């Protein structure tokens, strides 16, 4: 089935003009959307999932489920995760910051952001305790916050504006260099600090007709090289998303890739010579500064992460027959890691934790949906300490968070119209 991009873009155009995060609820199609490794422990892997998250403790050989109900994120699906070396997990949802201190068994909502939208989360490249968080609720003063205790407490930096902050990035080669993207109305901005947030320089970008500017990555090799995403209306009136590149520390940007497919994320090799862009349907690669070319796989549900010389990409169990694959030749060939049909059951947590209680009861239904023929129902004691109760994220607001087209209906429509499917995926 060919994607009906024009139809869905018209829906997204109305949402984008509201300058608010798009809400995604769990349910409907089962797909992954992000890949994260634990710092210093590459065998521990975590994938964002439309029905919660998936966890592997053995380099991807086996995977288990953490249901959305146990995480408590409501209708705002986490866009990014960080798994600290000491074991705790953080997730930015677009409205709340979620925190698990027992490796995913129990989740709570970080206090202090009830009236703000948590739009960005970035980790210090070498200090496991230092994080930065941006807020982006329209029509209010937003700020960039810093934590020095692993996300336990947060202090505002000097960056405060009556503007929507969409993302924060830290330069891997220079932790003092911070970037924040944002906008106010149709005016797009990049903010830069060279002293870890003490002082800031602001650059308005002359991007006529553009909206929804979001920083994607900073080169690991060169702190002045930055990539961003921006939306705009094409000549036919259909919105498009473009990847922009800056070589002067965010002062100016030039187009690098334009697509009528929604952009998911971008990653860069450690030497900065290769760049990958993932869209909902495809993966693109640029080597040595050349133009981006589309890779043969994945065909549907792409995401991309490069670490330690290995490239990981999301795929679609329903079109690629794999949900995660790895590549050691920068994406030319792929080795499948797992498909959704191979999930072993629920993440093994102590009795009484939200994952053990809530997810075990829901696993049979998900297993049937995925076509899992035999699986451990999970939920047993994994030997981690008992934890407290799960928190509830702040109630989502705005039309993007409302039931119906603004919530899961939109996500389901995206999946139906955009992702290539085989017939058995709908059974």
Cβ within 8 Å of residue 237, ≥6 positions away: none
| Pair 377, 345: CB distance under 8 Å | yes
**207-222 per-position pLDDT tens digit:** 888 889 999 999 999 9
- The CA distance from 96 to 110, in Å, is 7
What per-residue confidence (pLDDT) applies to 18?
Answer: 34
Asked whether residue 398 carries a pLDDT value surpassing 60, the answer given is no
User: Minimal CA–CA distance to 143: which of 124, 119, 127?
Assistant: 119
SS3 315: coil
Average pLDDT, the chain: 83
Alpha-carbon radius of gyration of the chain: 20
- The CA distance from 355 to 345, in Å, is 11
Q: Topology of domain 5-426, per CATH? A: Methylamine Dehydrogenase; Chain H (2.130.10)
The pair phi, psi for residue 17, each rounded to 5°, is -65, -15
Asked whether residue 389 carries a pLDDT value surpassing 70, the answer given is no
DSSP H/E element including 364 = helix 360-370
pLDDT, mean of residues 338-351: 96
- The CA distance from 379 to 373, in Å, is 18
User: Minimal CA–CA distance to 70: which of 26, 22, 133, 24?
Assistant: 26
| Pair 177, 194: CB distance under 8 Å | yes
**Residue of higher predicted confidence among 171 and 376:** 171
The position carrying tokens 């603004």 is 406
| Pair 226, 173: CB distance under 8 Å | no
% of the chain exceeding 70 in pLDDT? 81
What per-residue confidence (pLDDT) applies to 3?
Answer: 34
SS3 425: helix
**Residue of higher predicted confidence among 422 and 100:** 100
pTM over 0.75: yes
Cβ within 8 Å of residue 9, ≥6 positions away: 238, 239, 260
Number of residues written out for the chain: 427
- The CA distance from 245 to 236, in Å, is 25
Longest CA–CA separation in the chain, Å:
58
Tell me the C-alpha to C-alpha distance, in Å, between residue 203 and each of 157, 181, 188, 273: 18, 10, 9, 26
What per-residue confidence (pLDDT) applies to 124?
Answer: 97
| Pair 295, 331: CB distance under 8 Å | yes
**39-58 per-position pLDDT tens digit:** 999 999 999 999 999 999 99
Tell me the C-alpha to C-alpha distance, in Å, between residue 169 and each of 126, 176, 226, 267, 385: 14, 11, 9, 12, 33
SS3 411: helix
**157-174 per-position pLDDT tens digit:** 999 999 999 999 999 999
| Pair 299, 421: CB distance under 8 Å | no
DSSP H/E element including 228 = strand 226-233
Written as six digits, the tokens of 423 are 């017939």
**Residue of higher predicted confidence among 80 and 304:** 304
Asked whether residue 423 carries a pLDDT value surpassing 60, the answer given is no
What per-residue confidence (pLDDT) applies to 28?
Answer: 53
Say whether the peptide bond before residue 298 is cis (omega within 30 degrees of 0).
Answer: yes
DSSP state of 356: I
Among 69-73, 118-122, 380-384, the range scoring the smallest mean pLDDT is 380-384
Cβ within 8 Å of residue 195, ≥6 positions away: 176
Tell me the C-alpha to C-alpha distance, in Å, between residue 90 and each of 81, 106, 133, 170, 242: 6, 12, 11, 17, 29
- The CA distance from 219 to 54, in Å, is 28
Written as six digits, the tokens of 295 are 């890779």
**Residue of higher predicted confidence among 95 and 378:** 95
DSSP H/E element including 363 = helix 360-370
Q: Which of the four pLDDT bands, split at 50, 70 and 90, describes residue 141? A: very high
- The CA distance from 402 to 94, in Å, is 14
What per-residue confidence (pLDDT) applies to 199?
Answer: 97
DSSP state of 281: S
The position carrying tokens 């890949």 is 35
Q: List, edge to edge, every strand of the sheet that includes 310-314.
A: 303-307, 310-314, 324-327, 335-338
**288-299 per-position pLDDT tens digit:** 999 999 999 998
**56-98 per-position pLDDT tens digit:** 999 999 999 999 999 998 778 888 899 999 999 999 998 899 9
Beta pairing partners, 182:
165, 189
The position carrying tokens 């952009």 is 263
């Amino acid at each position: 089935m060919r994607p009906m991009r024009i139809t869905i873009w018209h829906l997204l155009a109305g949402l984008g003009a509201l300058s608010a995060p798009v809400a995604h609820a769990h349910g409907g199609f089962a797909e992954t959307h992000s890949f994260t490794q634990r710092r210093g422990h590459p065998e521990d892997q975590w994938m964002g999932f439309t029905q919660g998250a998936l966890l592997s403790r053995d380099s991807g050989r086996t995977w288990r489920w953490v249901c959305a109900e146990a995480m408590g994120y409501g209708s705002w699906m986490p866009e990014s995760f960080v798994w600290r070396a000491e074991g705790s997990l953080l997730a930015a949802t677009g409205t709340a910051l979620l925190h698990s201190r027992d490796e995913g068994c129990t989740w709570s909502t970080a206090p202090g952001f009830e009236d703000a939208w948590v739009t960005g989360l970035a980790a210090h490249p070498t200090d496991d305790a230092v994080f930065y968080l941006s807020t982006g609720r329209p029509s209010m003063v937003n700020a960039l916050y810093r934590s020095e205790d692993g996300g336990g407490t947060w202090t505002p930096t000097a960056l405060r504006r009556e503007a929507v902050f969409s993302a924060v990035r830290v330069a891997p080669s220079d932790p003092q260099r911070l970037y924040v993207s944002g906008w106010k109305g149709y005016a797009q901005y990049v903010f830069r600090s060279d002293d870890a947030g003490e002082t800031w320089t602001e650059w308005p970008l002359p991007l006529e007709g553009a909206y929804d500017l979001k920083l994607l990555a900073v080169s690991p090799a060169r702190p002045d090289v930055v990539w961003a995403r921006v939306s705009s209306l094409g000549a036919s009136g259909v919105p498009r998303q473009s990847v922009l590149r800056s070589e002067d520390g965010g002062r100016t940007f030039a187009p690098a890739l334009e697509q009528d497919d929604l952009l998911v994320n971008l990653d860069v090799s450690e030497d900065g010579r290769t760049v990958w862009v993932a869209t909902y349907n495809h993966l693109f690669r640029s080597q040595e500064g050349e133009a981006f070319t589309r890779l043969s796989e994945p065909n549907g549900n792409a995401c991309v992460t490069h670490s330690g010389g290995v490239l990981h990409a999301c795929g679609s169990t329903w079109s690629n027959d794999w949900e995660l694959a790895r590549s050691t030749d920068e994406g030319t060939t792929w080795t499948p890691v797992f498909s959704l049909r191979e999930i072993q059951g629920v993440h093994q947590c102590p009795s009484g934790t939200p994952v053990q209680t809530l997810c075990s009861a829901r696993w049979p239904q998900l297993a049937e949906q995925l076509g899992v023929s035999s699986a451990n129902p999970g939920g047993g004691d994994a030997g981690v300490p008992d934890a407290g109760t799960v928190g509830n994220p702040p109630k989502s607001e705005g039309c993007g968070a409302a039931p119906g087209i603004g919530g899961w209906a939109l996500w389901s429509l995206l999946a139906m119209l955009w992702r290539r499917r085989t017939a058995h995926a709908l059974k």
